[in-house]
A and B are shown apart, each in its own frame.
Chain A
């Protein structure tokens, strides 16, 4: 992406170790006082950022990475205070500044970009005014001057025709464009340091790639340093020069990026990398998991904070607190670091789940499925057209098989899932489960079918009734279906808890008492209560941290072979889909554009969208990330209310020709079992070679 270089700005600044650091955090401790306790959210963090470099701050939720960034800006939530250590920016300790001096730092020397661009912009103020505010706060410029600068930076971050969009409100921009506006706002005063807190977590992968590329280009052009805070090891692998891994309020390991991925020394880093589904995607082997949960930071444990969950912990780990040590380029806080003899590969991983041969009867068959949603339309309002959410989708799933549906948000994958389980009626088309047509079923027939088909919801926090005990949640489906006596139902509930690996005492507890991963297990147990043949899982692990994700994925695989389950898994995460699925279906704007055996689709994608998607999704492997083609997909998803004529992907397709606008490509079988909807399929030697 070409970004116009502003005249007079410093050119490329190389990250050099001998330069004095731009940001030097040492011994930082940040507490958050709650009503009756204090969370030691950041507890002795050391971090150095040199001018012009990108430092990745990575860790799971609650590890203190965001609190570290917010401490630098002194934007901590209510009750939050820096209680120790120093934050030196260009030699000045920010901790000692008063509030007025601090305001001179924010938005001026340090800019910050937040996670959710939807909520991070003021909804009632035009974007231009919001950018002008930054400029006018720190520069002695007139209104007109501030506006000129706002236009400049909007142009810089790639907002086309900035002058015509500057008076628009945030809701008139797409998610990706809003994040560009956020970046423009953070950059308006040319800060020397940009703090990006999960800048792409709320965005789709193709948009994520564009935003990360933009931040990278701006860093190079403007000579800023970037601190990239993220939970996504893939994002960090491709973008960071150096990485600091955080765990329980501490930095546990820091090294140059390739070194950290190739040769992790801290046991937590090692475990985190091993828990990634891409590690066993090709074999479908059992994932490494990190048992247990991170420690409670209101009462941090003595000794190494990871000892509780570490397979290699010994007595000294629980007694002494390891400090960061090792050579300057690679420091870690571990008493028994990874070495050739003692690493996870040789550790007990448990048996790989058996994959049953799936060439059996067709359990689910979907034909010409269409779902339109009316747009607008009230008593007096005119109906303003329809959103074509699912447009002529068809596939079959055999018993014991897993079909993965992958695509960006708005591609219709969740709608398809809801139609399959009969949560919504289709506009047209048929869904058959074991040959029975869902559309022709009576009320009783539908209720009986619910036993056969179950839905596992995305959000483990909002999909469980907060006022019901877990026992009642799991018993409810049995009661509705009038299955068994009370005693039988109770014992079934206990069995279910055993099945998903939760303690039996859980029946008396409420959902809020469980962690995200445990709640997702409750969701799985609820889905399994009626011993269904088919489970549709919508983003089953997207709300979970990597280590917890691995536990849930293992459980899903185990149960599949144990109970002979059939899964339809819906996810935006291709590595999760690839790990779980026998077959993969790729969706784009309501259409199934490619469908085939998982490895075939992943390694030899034929549709240009699949190719781009595989190229775009960040992989936790710095070597592969660095050789990748940058930003293979430009533009954004067109509106489903007015889909492009012919092939719906043509507006973003690098291979599109005139024919694509006129004629809609049918889904046709190119090689046995591999169907593609494209006039000009990509030749076989695909880009992804593993």
Chain B
């Protein structure tokens, strides 16, 4: 198991290096170069040159990558000239908020999806199965902004149950202090994810229900509930782990649309706002974080696999 993890971690480090290289190259592909992006279209050639010299942008490209990488390891993700703040501090401020919103949504989605997906598989082709499938497709195919706006329209404007805007507090605890403001943003995310998760879980459970070991469990005299929840569920969750691992980048990057609709002060909103004003250092900083999160998510999926499936653990 330790060996397995060490090997996977080593692979992850290599991939992360590649990710950082790609982001670095993107940084250099900025239209007109960094100097032009910062100083604006009216800057003179001399100004651009002195800017390049000041920030070491006239050095050989490999040396620049080395410097950039060592800065990166020291937590320096660049500087947002638009917001006059370091990218690292920007991310440090927004990331926890996004994490709270998306983690909440993910947990709720899994908790809701498991009974629905299992129920659909066990009662295959029943009215329940068909209606869950139908609703799942409806929610999955509806554009998120539309779904979010409908939620606001019904539950906020018409019924007045929940506020239309997310909590605006500057700290995580401040956000959590207003749970009613979180309901609609979380719900918009959950509706989408539940449809996806139930679909996967339903097919995984269906695959497992016809396995020989299920017949063996029945042959022992085990009840259906026991067979489904003790034997089938664990084996069916193995493929789910991949999807959960792959959803880590979303946890960190945030949902652009949801955060924008509910004006939630997270990574998604930051990305949206900075994209509009072409704040490249911030955008690339976020890209890097998301890239690394993808790699880590894959690593976590592997670990989850090993935890759930002993065959992988001892391989």
Instruction: Report which A residues bind B (CB closer than 8 A).
Output: 73, 75, 78, 103-108, 111-112, 114, 116, 119-125, 133-134, 137-138, 169, 171-172, 182, 185-186, 379-381
Contacts and interface: CB of A to CB of B under 8 A. Distances in A.
Given A123-B311, A137-B221, A169-B311, A185 B216 contact: yes
B42 interface: no
Contact of B231 (A107, A119, A122, A380): A122
A172 B312 CA distance: 12
Interface in B8-60: 10-11
Interface of B: 7, 10-11, 210-213, 215-223, 230-231, 234-235, 238, 308-311, 314
Q: 7 smallest A-B Cβ distances: which pairs?
A: A107-B220, A107-B221, A119-B212, A106-B221, A169-B310, A134-B220, A120-B212
A137 B216 contact: no
A124 B305 CA distance: 11
A114 B220 contact: no
Contact of B216 (A108, A138, A182): A182
Contact of B215 (A75, A111, A134): A75
A73 B309 contact: no
B234 A381 contact: no
A120 B216 CA distance: 6
B314 A172 contact: yes
A120 B11 CA distance: 35
B221 A124 contact: no
Contacts of B216: 114, 120-122, 182, 185
A380 B11 contact: yes
Contacts of B11: 379-380
A190 to B, nearest CB: 13
A112 B219 contact: yes
Contacts of B238: 124
B217 A133 contact: yes
A120 B308 CA distance: 18
A186 B219 CA distance: 8
Contacts of A380: 7, 10-11
A107 B311 contact: no
Contacts of A182: 216
A123 B221 contact: no
A469 to B, nearest CB: 30
A118 to B, nearest CB: 9
Contacts of B223: 103
Contact of A124 (B210, B215, B219, B235): B235
Given A120-B216, A122-B216, 14 more contacts: A73-B218, A73-B219, A107-B222, A122-B213, A122-B217, A122-B231, A123-B309, A123-B311, A124-B308, A124-B310, A125-B231, A137-B220, A379-B11, A381-B7
B13 to A, nearest CB: 10
A104 B221 contact: yes
Contacts of A112: 219
B38 to A, nearest CB: 41
Given A120-B212, A122-B235, A108 B221 contact: yes
Contact of A123 (B219, B220, B235): B235
Contacts of B215: 75, 114, 120
15 contacts: A75-B218, A103-B221, A106-B221, A107-B220, A120-B215, A121-B213, A133-B220, A133-B222, A134-B220, A134-B221, A137-B220, A169-B314, A171-B314, A380-B7, A381-B7
A152 B210 CA distance: 31
A123 B222 CA distance: 17
Contacts of A119: 211-213
A323 B10 CA distance: 72
Contacts of B220: 106-107, 133-134, 137, 185
A486 B235 CA distance: 52
Contacts of A125: 231, 234
Contacts of A121: 213, 216
Contacts of A107: 219-222
Nearest to A78: B210
A345 to B, nearest CB: 42
A75 B219 contact: yes
B205 to A, nearest CB: 14
A210 B219 CA distance: 24
B217 to A, nearest CB: 7
B212 A116 contact: yes
A105 B314 contact: no
B218 A106 contact: yes
Nearest to A105: B221
Most buried by B among A107, A108, A172: A107
Nearest to A138: B221
Contacts of B234: 124-125
Nearest to B237: A124
B7 A123 contact: no
B234 to A, nearest CB: 5
A122 B11 CA distance: 31
A113 to B, nearest CB: 9
